[in-house]
Amino acid sequence: MKLRHLLLPALLLASLTSGTAFAGDRGDRVDRRMDRHGERVDHRLDQRGDRIDHRLDRLSTRADERGHERAAQRLDNKGDRIDHRLDRAGDRREAQWDRRGDRVDRRWDRRH
């Protein structure tokens, strides 16, 4: 028996197993990419909430300096509520992207 007759089945088997490993890696890569995207969305919403809260805190301080205590308190509370709401929205969106990535990874693992 010639060497090429022995080598051909071994090469075919190696190519099939490497293709399966590559497909599993692809699912993991997509999962990581979706996780990073979710983290970026969460970070942007957190920053936006912090900026709005900071701006309303400055307005609250100015109103307090001018003797408008009730308006200052309302502005401060409004900034805190907006910041908290955007933080929660960012966390929800990050969790949503994490679930999507996990779903894609599981789908790739089942198929390949």
41-60: pLDDT as tens digits: 999 999 999 999 999 999 99
The domain spans of the chain are 31-111
10-45: pLDDT as tens digits: 666 665 555 555 555 777 888 888 889 999 999 999
73-93: pLDDT as tens digits: 999 999 999 999 999 999 999
CB atoms within 10 A of CB 53: 20
25 vs 108: CA distance, rounded Å: 9
Q: What sign results for the dihedral spanned by CA atoms 99, 103, 104, 108?
A: positive
